[in-house]
Structure 1
Amino acid sequence: MNVQDTQEQLGGWKRKARQNIALYTEEIDETTDRNTERLLTLFREHNVGAFHFTPSTGYGYDDLGREKLDSLYAGVFGTETAFVRSQFISGTHAITAALFGVLRPGDELLYATGMPYDTLRTVIGIEGEAEGTLQEWGITYKESPYEVGEELSADRILSHVTEATKVIAIQRSRGYAERESVPMEKMNQVIAAIKQKVPDVIVFVDNCYGEFTETSEPGHAGADLMAGSLIKNPGGGIVKTGGYIAGRKDLIEKAASRFAAPGIGMEGGPTLYSLQEMFQGLFLAPHVVGEALKGSLYTAALLEESGLQTTPSYTEKRTDLIQSVTFASKEQMVTFCQAIQEASPVDARVIPQPAYMPGYTSDVIMAAGTFIQGASIELSADGPIRPPYTAYVQGGLTFSHVKIAVEHAVTRLLEKELLASLL
């Protein structure tokens, strides 16, 4: 296509996409307002003051700001307590500390949402050859199938529970899977049914990508334990590193002992100069998540207009930031991701290529021109290079940036005549 034809074609798709999402973006704004009001109330109730931003060094004992942040996170997620530390490398690290903290040799981990994503498969020991996995420590694993088009079923999950089952894990977001993410309404129902039948089982929720997308969190639904990353939703796009674990006090103490050492647990962990950004990032999080959600709606609407397959559709209710786009070929997928990188504020000249990444079994392409390395609350597009060729678009600090970047990606596909609807 020539330049004029490309611009005319894209212009029509843009107008239609923006019209289609108008009603749904209003709903996101309402969620943002309710979550911001909830946070304001928590900040006031906990008497957050400027002195709570004072850094600590060394062992980090008696850090009042860190203790206040822990109590705020517990309030946000509806749990007894929480454990927030900049020393967590990633969401996978926080999840690993939580699982190793509460599981013992001979226990069974049951994943209620089918196969977890690649890095956690490595942690469990069902893929790869890493040292120190759960299975190496004598912890068994199985999963309850959760297929495309199905709803999460408590009966199906409970049919896989045995006397050895210690933890039932729910992955809220789809990750690199085609199945549905788990909305809070469904999570409430499933956790209530599990607790009624097997009250002593620990229900753990991988909350990555889900924070502030709805007006309640897994703790409000009765989850015993949850974990996530601060360079995703709750960091508000400004926290440079870290993660959190929230839940029952006895379980948090076990996870903290795994993270640090027995006898240290929650008492240590220097905050250096990270406290102000952690408090401020948490306060900003509902707004930034709302911007990213509106961006995902527009991504879905525009790409559907261009003939691509997206999940979820722009008409569907969201419970995480993940927007998947399925392409007809590797070339289509790579071109799209490279165009997202070109429209990034950082490293725009870098041309991402499929390559090996630790913890993944397939080559991965990752477009992420982010201010914070690996920050998936910032706009990124990535995915394993394997059929079906699906890229996962997530994040976006501003709605405007997402619109511009996705429009640029569609332009590149048009220029290369890679859109199936036009071939």
Structure 2
Amino acid sequence: MEQLKEAEQELFPIFSGIDTQVKHNLQRVLDAFRRYRVGTHHFAGVTGYGHDDLGRQTLDQVFAEIMGAEAAAVRVQFVSGTHAITCALFGCLRPGDEMLAVAGTPYDTLEEVIGLRGQGQGSLLEFGISYRQLDLTSEGKIDWEGLNTAITAKTRLVLIQRSCGYSWRSSLSISDIEQIVQSVKQQNPNTICFVDNCYGEFIETREPPAVGVDLIAGSLIKNPGGTIVQAGGYVAGREDLVEAATCRLTAPGIGSSGGATFDQNRILFQGLFLAPQMVGEAIKGTHLTSYIFHQLGYRVNPLPFEPRRDVIQAIELGSPNKLIAFCRAIQQYSPIGSYLEPVPAEMPGYESHLVMAGGTFIDGSTSEFSADGPLREPYIVFCQGGTHWTHIALALEAAIEAIAQV
């Protein structure tokens, strides 16, 4: 309790700055809602093919403006952020093309999509799309010198993973992304700059399309769903590339014109309205978590007073028992399933066994407070999301006590 009180006092100026940023981002959302005259008539959904869904069409326009993009497609038919990213990749790439990842190894769930693991499931490599990656420097930074000569005539798309994922590196800022785009376009203006935007929405006051990114994709049960959207994902960016991605979601010739919203339009609009506030609370939680565990002597990423670039806070716990104990404590302080005990298990799309605490109202929602980590050295737990930082503070009390007993 004393450590938490100290942390709250030390972080008060940062919390105040986060509130100012929330206000700025909420202004962006309200401006878009006003411009497109969002009203209760946009809440009605359609059935069947989803033709002429006024609410869906308007939401796409609102979302595109908030993201600084030409177009967007916000769809409940996207199963996850990985699904939205996959549709974007298969929509943009053709046999003989090359994809270059510029921020080291991509997130675990993309490995089978690319073809780095598994076989026979229709990966990019199986369709004749080659893959290269630009490894990070020994300090875990972008290899800027290598990037400046990495693009060739064959490089159709550059994959930029904004969040650190399950790696111990700094997530990318909008300025970092802008610098990557400038380097790529100077070498080959036709190369598509694509950002995996998961966990990054509303962290700063601009989104990647505002700095020249051609296409982004993400999940609605992360930041932009405001903790209440029940499923889905999005793509946003250049109009032709958005359409190409939605042609992979539906079918060529249908693209973005199909997909019933199943009476979800009100929740999709309301979640987007709530998103800046929910992201702000999650960011406060990352600062609080980082401060406390840094004081306890653990390695943390990012450090307590560093600017945030996503809603993920990593703590290197150093042992599998501490990782499991931490997640069990978080589960006990979750609103749903507090009586459950997380155990390491396989999960589709991941190579390592995972232990997960996720007592959330929306299954798998990482915009609500959750914690997980792969059961591999050095046993890092990744905390994400949070509807209000005070809930995170309560859960951290339990987590500190739990790992102290291991």
Scaled to the shorter chain, the TM-score interval is over 0.9
The 4+ residue runs of structure 1 with deviation greater than 3 A are none
Identical pairs, percent: 47
Residue type of the partner of 2:269? F
SS at match of 1:36: helix
Partners in 2 of 1:344 and 1:39 — Cα distance? 29
SS at match of 1:350: coil
Alignment of 1:366 with 2:366, yes or no, is: no
Partner of 2:246: 256
Partner of 1:168: 158
Partner of 1:328: 318
Partners in 2 of 1:40 and 1:396 — Cα distance? 23
Q: 1:130 to 1:280 in 2, by over 3 A?
A: farther
SS at match of 1:411: helix
Alpha-carbon deviation of 1:189?
A: 2.0
* 2:148 and 2:184 in contact (8 A); partners too: yes
Partner of 1:145: 135
User: Which of 351, 358, 378 does residue 341 from structure 2 map onto?
Assistant: 351
Alpha-carbon deviation of 1:302?
A: 1.1
Partner of 2:224: 234
- 1:384-395 superposed matches below 5 A: 384-395=374-385
Partner of 2:30: 40
SS at match of 1:227: strand
Give unpaired runs (5+ residues) of structure 1: 1-10, 419-423
Q: CA RMSD in A?
A: 1.1
SS at match of 1:26: helix
Partners in 2 of 1:304 and 1:124 — Cα distance? 36
Partners in 2 of 1:140 and 1:380 — Cα distance? 35
Partners in 1 of 2:144 and 2:186 — Cα distance? 11
* 2:227 and 2:271 in contact (8 A); partners too: yes
SS at match of 2:159: strand
Alpha-carbon deviation of 1:153?
A: 4.5
User: Which of 300, 309, 313 does residue 299 from structure 2 map onto?
Assistant: 309
* 1:149 and 1:180 in contact (8 A); partners too: no
Give the structure-2-normalised TM-score: 0.98
User: Which of 32, 50, 57 does residue 60 from structure 1 map onto?
Assistant: 50
* 1:113 and 1:146 in contact (8 A); partners too: yes
Residue type of the partner of 1:310? V
Partners in 1 of 2:45 and 2:344 — Cα distance? 40
Give unpaired runs (5+ residues) of structure 2: none
Partner of 1:401: 391
Residue type of the partner of 1:362? S
Partner of 1:3: none
Alpha-carbon deviation of 1:185?
A: 1.6
Partner of 1:127: 117
Partner of 1:211: 201
Aligned residues: 406
- 1:28-107 superposed matches below 5 A: 28-107=18-97
Partners in 1 of 2:305 and 2:118 — Cα distance? 38
* 1:340 and 1:367 in contact (8 A); partners too: yes
Partner of 2:171: 181
Q: 1:351 to 1:147 in 2, by over 3 A?
A: farther
* 1:174 and 1:180 in contact (8 A); partners too: yes
